[in-house]
Amino acid sequence: MTTTNIPITFMDIDNHSFYFTAEDDGLEEDTFNKSVKFSVHEIQSMDQKILTLNKEENKFLFQCLTDKERCEHKFECKFTIHIYQSNSRESIVGRPVMLYANKGEEKMVACCHGNCEIQAEAMKLPNKVDATADKALFYMKELASTDTVVFESALYRNHFLGFQRDEKNPWQHKLVLIQQVDGTDSRNEFLKLPPHSCCSGGGAKSTG
């Protein structure tokens, strides 16, 4: 819980120590509540690779796909960005979101794991997140004067969704977390595009 500006009251001095008590300001712990707002997109890197869910391997990959490949059942190119509402006092620039693609009836959610890995986990979106550090929560930030967005991990601050070559499969680029050291990195920047016409569900959809 953030304690900035919570009233405190002086109580006593004992053995050269000062004792205070914090008043109850009625605030809850920092929480994130699932909103009704979401939008559906193709997510494209700055070098025109498309983020996909490989349904056979349950992996998020960036790939250069033809129109025909976009329509194959093997790949899901349509991603939902679901917005969460926050009561956090932290000064954070960006919307709390969760990112997922559908595999049948399952939501395959982008989740942070050790060694900056991002894994596709089948899960139901929680209605409430009780901590600011959650493996599936990201802060979506719009870059000034552009149509570009970045996704900062709530679990690993100053680490952003990006892509890098898979060492095991050098012809593939996987979704990972990349630490932002000095300025922006084009591997962290993405365009939100309307879904391709052959994607199930047609055009982009939004409830907010």
Query: Which of the pair, 60 or 144, is modelled with greater confidence?
Result: 60
pLDDT at 103: 95
Average pLDDT over residues 143-162: 89
Distance in angstroms (rounded) separating the CA atoms of residues 38 and 139: 14
CATH architecture assignment, domain 32-193: Trefoil (2.80)
Q: How confident is the model at residue 150 (pLDDT cuts 50, 70, 90)?
A: very high
- Summarize the confidence of residues 34-60 as an average pLDDT: 94
Domain spans of the chain, in order of start: 32-193
pLDDT value of position 40 = 96
> What gap in Å lies between CA 90 and CA 131, rounded to an integer?
12
Element (H, E) at 67: helix 67-70
Q: Give the pLDDT mean for 45-60.
A: 94
Nearest to 39 by CA among 135, 155, 149, 185: 149
Lowest-confidence pick of 103-112, 127-136, 155-164: 127-136
Q: What is the average per-residue pLDDT within 129-150?
A: 88
What pLDDT is attached to residue 139?
94
> Mean pLDDT throughout 37-43?
96
What's the pTM value of the predicted model, to 2 decimals? Answer: 0.79
- pLDDT for 131 equals 79
